[in-house]
Amino acid sequence: MTDTAPSNPPPDAADRRAAKPLICYQVDQLPPSNLALYQQARQGMRKLTEITVAPREGGTFEVPAGSFFRIVSVEGAQVGDLNLWYAHDLRERFFSGKTRQLQATHVSTGDRLWSSLPGLRPMATITHDTLDWYGWDEDGAGVHDVIGTRCDPYTNYMLNGVDYHHCCHSNLTRALAAAADIPLTEAELHVHDVMNVFMCTGFTNDSHQYFMKASPVRPGDYIEFFAEIDLLGALSTCPGGDCGSSHSDDSTPCYPLQVEIFQPGAGALQGWISPPRNGYSGTHGT
Ligand SMILES: [Zn+2]
């Protein structure tokens, strides 16, 4: 990315590079996961409702704590950009960066989606993923990343000099404004970095640049979540379609996505409690 010559390495460069990598957080000390209970509870669940998000649009849905929701591929390969909020306070929202640090760059069954500070608690746990077979391919790519942001009209304008109104950022903004009955300008401030559902991405080996490739998702594939707290969700069907060629335009084939809400059977969650907000005092040393 730079034309300048690199600095001369110090004599002990090899030693400095040989430092051992450490996983940043002691993730084995996180609050225990209830995945086994959820796996049991999903056996007897029944579908309550479903919504379809049209191509190049956004849609919202509510999921009560203790319920499941699925994002389902229908008709054709399509990537979805997911936002989540605590249903009773939009200021608590999905925290892509911390989820990346506590889980991984790409998420699948058993991973939890964490909320923003100061709430910092699990919002949802992934309970099933029909694309979990994909793993890591030869390019180092995986599915369902929490590293990208969302396509947006500002970056597109900067690069192409045109207004395009169906980027995921705008789709999510319009959908949230309608659902929460707030102005677009207010809704836009609540839209945040997404989970890139079904998107296949990685970093190039040589320059470590973020890349995308055609999603392996096919109709019938789905990813399923357990709602740890009352959730308001918004999903955008990315104008990039399967994100195998381009995005932020109207020329790429795009397909709808379906969101299905499920309720577990009576008594299936015995002993489970919705996680409280984070226990830090919030005084910051004052
Ligand atoms: Zn997008």
Side chain identity, residue 114? W
State the distance from the centre of ligand 1 to the C-alpha of 259, rounded, in angstroms. 17
State the distance from the centre of ligand 1 to the C-alpha of 133, rounded, in angstroms. 24
State the pLDDT at residue 1.
60
State the pLDDT at residue 184.
98
- Using a cut of 0.85, tell me whether the model's pTM lies above it: yes
Give the Cα separation of 137 and 106 in Å (integer): 13
State the pLDDT at residue 3.
75
State the distance from the centre of ligand 1 to the C-alpha of 223, rounded, in angstroms. 18
Which residue from 77, 68, 75, 84 is spatially nearest to 52, judged by alpha carbons? Answer: 75
State the distance from the centre of ligand 1 to the C-alpha of 151, rounded, in angstroms. 4
Return the SS3 of 52. Answer: strand
State the distance from the centre of ligand 1 to the C-alpha of 148, rounded, in angstroms. 10
What is the DSSP secondary-structure string of 122-173?
Answer: EEEEEEEETTTT----TTS-EEEESS-----HHHHHHHHSS--S-SHHHHHH
State the distance from the centre of ligand 1 to the C-alpha of 21, rounded, in angstroms. 33
State the pLDDT at residue 75.
96
Q: Helices marked H in 200-269 — which ranges?
A: none
State the distance from the centre of ligand 1 to the C-alpha of 167, rounded, in angstroms. 5
H-run or E-run covering 199: strand 195-203
* b/e code 138-162 from CB counts within 10 Å (16+ = b): eeebbbbbbbbebbbbeebeeeeee
State the distance from the centre of ligand 1 to the C-alpha of 184, rounded, in angstroms. 18
Q: Strand 122-129: give its sheet, edge to edge.
A: 46-53, 257-263, 68-73, 222-227, 122-129, 112-114
State the pLDDT at residue 2.
63
Residues within 5 A (CB) of ion ligand 1: 151, 168, 238
State the distance from the centre of ligand 1 to the C-alpha of 281, rounded, in angstroms. 37
State the distance from the centre of ligand 1 to the C-alpha of 26, rounded, in angstroms. 33
Cα-Cα-Cα-Cα torsion 23, 26, 30, 32, nearest 10 degrees, comes to: 90
State the pLDDT at residue 210.
95
State the distance from the centre of ligand 1 to the C-alpha of 247, rounded, in angstroms. 7
Give the Cα separation of 225 and 59 in Å (integer): 17
Angle at 129 between CA 125 and CA 131, to 5 degrees: 145
pLDDT means per 10 residues, the chain with 286 residues, are: 84 96 92 93 96 98 98 97 98 98 97 98 98 97 96 96 96 98 98 98 96 97 98 97 83 95 95 96 97
Give the Cα separation of 172 and 186 in Å (integer): 12
